[in-house]
Structure 1
Amino acid sequence: MGARASVKAVMAATAVLLMSPLAQAQDFYSGKTIVLYAGQPPGGGIDNEMRLVAQFLSRFIPGEPQIQPRNMPGAGGVTLGNYLYASATADGLTLGMPGRAGFVLAPIGDDKTARYDVRRFTWMGSAASTNFIFWARNSSGLKSVADLRALKRELNVAGSGATTSNSIVPEILARYEKFPFKVVRGYPGMAPAVLSLERGETEAIFSDRASIRPDMIASGLVTPLFQTFAMEPNLPVIDTLLTDVRERELIGLLATPMRLGLALIGPPGMPEAQTKILREAYGRMVRDAAYQEEARRRNFDVGTPNDGEAIAAYLSKVISGLSPEVIAEYKSFVERN
């Protein structure tokens, strides 16, 4: 009996050694917990979409690990980016959704607090490109871009950081198109910025639809004036408003994170097998009918998903193609007080 038991033990150990890395990774997730971070405080669009991913992703991962949602806000996603880049273990059990422009563009703007290279993260994918819309509060009296161009007073626009699109895009338009925007920077996230709009502290915001509560739209509290991509019917696209070549390049740079969408990422150097499993699981999730139904119900972007490898390649191409002049001017906006 002892000899037989020894033979069985050797056979079992040999079988484990002969398992492919992918098979071992599939077994690896059984009984484990994945910690999934959002790079913004609770309550905003990034936090809410992270929690939707936490709700659905597990069922598409072999072994169905638990997924624990957490928040690590700070500097428009930069704090979480630093953590994932240098401190998190690259074992497939720590993932994040840091954000869009603040996270992606901070290193380009030479932000000394951003201690990472976005090209080195392990990109899992995103559900769709994110369409940012310029919303005006009803108290502003604005109903169209023509009204905006004719406005003779300053319009306070809510911003949430030095590197975020909701701060910099309106400032670019103010510089080049002479729109009467005064961006109020410093709100600690999109949710507080939207709250300022609701309270009347500010009268406009440049944000994704998911960050604006449906009742704010339905009640007429806010009106959309223009959008980044041609996704909303009968709404002007920002590209048609631009009159300067440099302005177009700057807006194109700021639109890059929106085109990527709100991506799911892991630390650099994750094992190939875990990366493959998580990329495939995320891809199946964002194409799942139940996920898409819930995403639409919450006003999240649903469209053509972006896979992780394509995102990494696109980022490398964009970053390598930036001119020093565009980078310098982008930095001038980031460094404004």
Structure 2
Amino acid sequence: MSGPMRGVRARVACLSLLPLLGVAGAAAAQDDYYRGKIIRIVVGYTAGGGFDTYSRAIARHLARHVPGKPAVIVENMPGAAGLVAANSIYRAGRPDGLTIVNFQGTQVMGQILGREGVEFDARKFEWIGAPTRENAVCALTRASGITSAQQWAASKTPVKLGSVAPGGATHDVPRVLQIALGLPIHLVRGYKGTAEIRLAAQSGEVAGGCWPWESLRPTWRQALDAGEATVVLQVTEKPLADLPGVPMALDLARTDEARQLIRTGIIAPTTVSRLYAMPPATPADRVRTLRAAFLETLRDPEFVNDAKQAKLDIDPVGGEEVERLMGELFRMPPPVLAKLKELLR
């Protein structure tokens, strides 16, 4: 082979290595950045509830998948169904790739509906993902005397349900069901999280509540297994395999308008209820790093085993898909939006 030809091939070989060297360089830069640092996961609810349970499980495994293996800690910032945490991290969270906020997807509906108190623009958060797609259910205690959807619908007095605040599933799910299905409901607001609602139900202060099955099942398992609490309604697009015989809200709705309200006001926002995000303007390379680490963690066999033992459902949603789903919510048809504003603002 002639000298010039060998030189050309050598240059081509070097050029072909440049993308790989770029990837390696980026990985090394992230390794250097995260080594010795601490990533905070700020949970918008109290310790012991479903959001806290998921976040602590993720925190135990996330560091292995972040370059540099930083420490990962969980902090609780409860208030207004996660709104306090979402507002705080949006306004004051440093965009340094070290802060993740975990709050409820229904709070995004609060922005769309123009609720007071929402200080963030969901379209500016840097979405990391969600550990599972969720499905809302309503569960009542045996002591309440209501053990089926039929008994609930026929109740002469409103059934007391525990609620955190507008914008959370514990408020918005029963509020939509109250109008769409005509269920007699008295919302008791002010609880800091589902852990408090469960305690209130056990003491007889309320009859139960509505929130995602993926949270209710692991945290209220003892009462469910003992028959002290019963899931009486599932607010889902398809019936859940582990809730045979439990009626679906869509099947009980008598009009197309009622079904549309249930789909748009409950099912769509609940699907990505357990959101993880970083503050606006977080550097793109750190967003990509934590999005990848988040998904790798959720697929890690050790994490999956821990999740199974804790009865945590895992059905990962990546950051890019969360962005797409958020876009769909913001393009909601005006007539539907007007009706939901009437119900939920």
Matched, 1:165 2:175: no
Counterpart in 2 of 1:291?
A: 303
Structure 2 unaligned blocks of 5 or more: 1-21
Matched, 1:327 2:337: yes
Match of 2:16 in 1: none
1:18 Cα offset (Å): 11
Shift of 1:282: 0.7
Q: Which whole-Å CA distance do the structure 2 matches of 1:30 and 1:215 have between them?
A: 41
TM-score (norm 2): 0.85
Letter in 2 for 1:246: E
- Once residues 248 and 300 of structure 2 are traced to their aligned partners in structure 1, the CA distance between those partners, rounded to angstroms, is 30
2:263 is aligned to 252
1:98 to partner: Cα distance: 1.6
**How much has 1:288 moved relative to structure 2?**
1.7
| Unaligned 5+ runs, structure 1 | 1-16
For 1:333 and 1:296, locate their aligned partners in 2 and report how far apart those are by CA, in whole Å: 37
Moved over 6 A (4+): none
1:135-176 CA distance string (max 9 Å, x none): 011023333222222323321111111222222222222223
How far off its partner does 1:60 sit? Answer: 1.1
Residue number among 246, 249, 254 corresponding to 1:243 in the alignment: 254
Equivalences for residues 1-337 of structure 1 within 5 A: 20-101=25-106, 103-209=107-213, 210-211=215-216, 212-229=219-236, 230-231=239-240, 232-234=242-244, 235-253=246-264, 254-303=266-315, 305-320=316-331, 322-335=332-345
Kindly state the Cα deviation for residue 270 of structure 1 after the two structures are TM-superposed. 1.6
- The offset of 1:22, in angstroms, is 4.0
Which residue number in structure 2 is paired with residue 5 of structure 1? none
Sequence identity (%):
26
Shift of 1:292: 1.8
Cα RMSD between the aligned structures? 2.0
TM-score (norm 1): 0.87
Per-residue CA deviations over 1:173-210 (Å, capped at 9, x if unaligned) read: 22232212111122222221221111111112112343
CA distance in 2, matches of 1:93, 1:38: 14
Cα distance in 2 for residues equivalent to 1:99 and 1:261: 5
Say if 1:22 and 1:273, in contact at 8 Å, map to a contact too. no
Alpha-carbon distance in 1 for matches of 2:206, 2:321: 38
Counterpart of 1:186 in structure 2: which amino acid? G
Name the amino acid aligned to 2:130.
S
SS of aligned partner of 2:104? coil
The amino acid across from 1:280 in the alignment is: A
Give distance in 1, aligned partners of 2:247 and 2:23.
59
